[in-house]
Structure 1
Amino acid sequence: MRRLLLPSVLLVLLSLVADACGASGPSSRPAGSQPPAHYLPTLRPEAPLPTPYDGVTFEDPGVNPFVDTADDRESTFGLDVDTASYTIARRWIEDGNLPDPASIRVEEFVNAFDQGYAAPETGTFAIHADGGPSPFLDEDEVLLRIGVKAREVGDRERPDAALTFVVDVSGSMAREDRLELVKRSLALLVEELRPRDTVALVVYGSDARVVLSPTRARDADEILAAIGSLQPEGSTNAEAGLRLGYALARETLVEGGINRVILASDGVANVGVTDAEGILEEIRRDADAGIQLVTVGFGMGNYNDVLLEQLADDGDGFYAYVDQLDEARRLFVEDLTGTLQTVALDARVQVEFNPDAVEAYRLIGFENRAIDDDDFRDDDVEAGAIGAGHASTALYALRLEGDAGWEARLATVSLRWMDPDTRRADELAEDVYGGDLAESFRATEPAFQLDALVAATAERFRDSRWGRRYELRDVLAVADEIARDLPETAETDDFLALLEQAARLER
């Protein structure tokens, strides 16, 4: 067993995050197909783990192993900007429960935090890379962070938006006042729109109906009154709601503008077509026509995480979970343009490691975003949709060759995406060198240190093999030691409080 590199305050700590290959956007691997060779599924329990909530649906994506570069030097995955996994975990912990391991997607935990990447001065993307030792890795390993930052678009610069809200008003939405949180969340969005933007409102219970035809945002009082009138009713016919919502969106399609369907639901479908594949057949062609889908989950218990993620993926959008009004404010107010305007489709990354410098690697997260290495330039393979100003981060644990110095090229990071307007592919590539790595954990960037803590926490939550040699209290001890070095943000404070609460629950 390798000796671990630990701060003096700890007796035990260990290996960091598990990795994979994947993105936010439609699933890059068809159902039933064989995964890439470097994908290692987790061992499934013989029976589902007990849950404090009834009727929750998660899908364990597995955990990535180390891969020898002599066997496979390329790691390919679709970008992911979803954050739902982190806010779902926050909901569980604040309710006094450790999260379901199957609900944990490490990359979504990391995505939930501002990385501080600089936006590109020109072009669509900028690639960033840094790293260094980590207290959660073996002594002969380093943690590499690869960040992708999309160009920013000012609120005044974005095109006009045509939004169609599709709201689940079935009986399950009465639980925990989740429909009330939906109404307050959508009201926040409406208040941020420009006068020329339009909003339409469709609801579905046992069937679907139009509550508000497309209305200019300058008539905000009319829109807010329609939202405020919603009440829970009936079963859950998500298929009918999405069919009607997309039909309305097609009628108001803005050429060259932003066309979004925003689904607010707990993800349960029990009437009509109830599986993801059946519903997705109805929306894929609309995504190709430029109508993108954002799915926003609400509530816990009678909740389908799998359906909401798959709908967003195939709808060329992203998936978020709102557990409190502050999260809705972040999504619909602070990050409104990024939520609405897509700057890249089918964005994917291929990292080619240099076998002369890197002995082995493991990607941390992205397990359900894996793309075969040979498909990197196959534009028929769907990957992630990226909004203006959005960032995505991939973490790798690396075992370096002994003579890999500062000038050694560790890897080449290639990024490929489709322009949503021209539908033409573009690429960007950057090399990563040994000199991009800090010599100590304390010498790394504050956001990098936070990422190491967040990823280690997620690994522990999902019972990864890389997270079984330490406990949450050990992660908390490292966090306490470096607290003054971490980013001074409210989200950092929230995470540290959450970690402390989770560590108490684990005892």
Structure 2
Amino acid sequence: MSFDQQAAYAILRDVASRDCIFGSVTALSATFVIDVSGSMDTRFTLNGTTYSRLSYVQQHLSQVISEQLKPYQQFNVIIYSSGARALFSAPVNATTANIKSALTFVAGLRAGGSTNTYAGLQLAFSSSKDTVAVYLLTDGVPDSGLAPRILQAIPQWEAQRAADRQIRIFATAFLLGPDSAADKQLSAAFMKQVAALTNGVYRNMDQTQ
């Protein structure tokens, strides 16, 4: 193999793969904030296979953690429904042991409860001053009254962080399944606003798109 071929293979190994839900996770410190409310048990069929929303997300999140993250990156996983909890007290390096713990955690997730998106985001912003990317995934709008509160709180949370530690939110509206068009539009509109507030990225997972 020539030197040029070796260099090309080295570059290809370092190029981050791209997941259809989370994209390429390249931030030095990233936190995944995942909705596990009861509606995440909604079923849908894709390419002949039936999934729950949560099982599909579990599969892709596990792949991102195990295949994309590098040892020099830090990460955490926060889940929320009626409340929120984090896998680690703060983001940790993507070591073999920490990745194994995360995969076990993700595999054990179950859907249930309401949609307290505020609690999930608040925990993500407060758990580390070094986090620079939040990957937020939900299948619906937050609990009644929380959407305006979240949109008001995000700039306040950002203002409390150092200028070089502002968080970008990569917001995915996971809408595969039989929800009404009106409900999907509400969820999409909210997530677009969340992403826009942080110069982030909005994604929409919907069979009708």
> Normalized against structure 1, the TM-score is what?
0.30
Identify the match of residue 114 of structure 2 among 217, 235, 245. 235
Q: Contact 2:40–2:111 at 8 Å: present in 1 too? A: yes
- Residues 93-132 of structure 1: pairs in structure 2 closer than 5 A: none
- Residues 256-405 of structure 1: pairs in structure 2 closer than 5 A: 259-271=132-144, 273-275=145-147, 277-287=148-158, 289=161, 290-300=166-176, 301=179, 302-303=183-184, 304-323=187-206
Q: What is the aligned partner in structure 2 of residue 207 from structure 1? A: 83
Find the structure with the greater CA-based Rg: 1
Query: Structure 1: how far apart are the matches of 2:83 and 2:123?
Result: 10
Query: Structure 1: how far apart are the matches of 2:153 and 2:28?
Result: 22
Identify the match of residue 168 of structure 1 among 35, 42, 45. 35
CA distances 1:311-370 after superposition (whole Å, capped 9, x unpaired): 11112201112358xxxxxxxxxxxxxxxxxxxxxxxxxxxxxxxxxxxxxxxxxxxxxx
Residue 227 and residue 323 in structure 1: after superposition, are their counterparts in 2 closer, same or farther (change >3 A)?
farther
Identify the match of residue 60 of structure 2 among 185, 190, 209. 185
Query: Structure 2: how far apart are the matches of 1:162 and 1:229?
Result: 24
Q: CA deviation at 1:204?
A: 1.1
CA distances 1:410-438 after superposition (whole Å, capped 9, x unpaired): xxxxxxxxxxxxxxxxxxxxxxxxxxxxx
Q: CA deviation at 1:234?
A: 0.5
Query: Structure 1: how far apart are the matches of 2:78 and 2:190?
Result: 19
Q: What is the aligned partner in structure 2 of residue 77 from structure 1? A: none
Q: Which has the higher contact order (CA 8 A, sep 6+)?
A: 1
Query: Structure 1: how far apart are the matches of 2:133 and 2:157?
Result: 10
Query: Structure 1: how far apart are the matches of 2:169 and 2:123?
Result: 14
Query: Structure 2: how far apart are the matches of 1:287 and 1:193?
Result: 25
Identify the match of residue 126 of structure 2 among 236, 241, 247. 247
Query: Structure 2: how far apart are the matches of 1:162 and 1:173?
Result: 26
Runs of 4 or more above 3 Å deviation? 285-289
CA distances 1:444-485 after superposition (whole Å, capped 9, x unpaired): xxxxxxxxxxxxxxxxx9xxxxxxxxxxxxxxxxxxxxxxxx
Q: Contact 1:162–1:197 at 8 Å: present in 2 too? A: yes
Query: Structure 2: how far apart are the matches of 1:236 and 1:319?
Result: 19
% identical equivalent positions: 30
Unaligned runs of 5+ in 2: 1-13, 17-24, 44-51
Q: Contact 2:87–2:102 at 8 Å: present in 1 too? A: no
Query: Structure 2: how far apart are the matches of 1:184 and 1:286?
Result: 31
Secondary structure of 2:120 counterpart:
helix
Unaligned runs of 5+ in 1: 1-153, 325-460, 462-497, 499-507
Secondary structure of 1:231 counterpart:
coil
Query: Structure 2: how far apart are the matches of 1:168 and 1:262?
Result: 11
Query: Structure 2: how far apart are the matches of 1:185 and 1:323?
Result: 16
Secondary structure of 1:264 counterpart:
strand
Residue 204 and residue 166 in structure 1: after superposition, are their counterparts in 2 closer, same or farther (change >3 A)?
same
Query: Structure 1: how far apart are the matches of 2:206 and 2:189?
Result: 17
Query: Structure 1: how far apart are the matches of 2:78 and 2:120?
Result: 7
Q: What is the aligned partner in structure 1 of residue 48 from structure 2? A: none
Query: Structure 2: how far apart are the matches of 1:162 and 1:321?
Result: 23
Query: Structure 1: how far apart are the matches of 2:205 and 2:94?
Result: 23
- Residues 470-485 of structure 1: pairs in structure 2 closer than 5 A: none
Query: Structure 2: how far apart are the matches of 1:252 and 1:198?
Result: 12
Aligned residues: 164
Q: Contact 1:265–1:296 at 8 Å: present in 2 too? A: yes
> Normalized against structure 2, the TM-score is what?
0.69
Q: CA deviation at 1:310?
A: 0.7
Residue 160 and residue 311 in structure 1: after superposition, are their counterparts in 2 closer, same or farther (change >3 A)?
closer
1:318 is matched by which residue type in structure 2?
Answer: V
CA distances 1:86-109 after superposition (whole Å, capped 9, x unpaired): xxxxxxxxxxxxxxxxxxxxxxxx
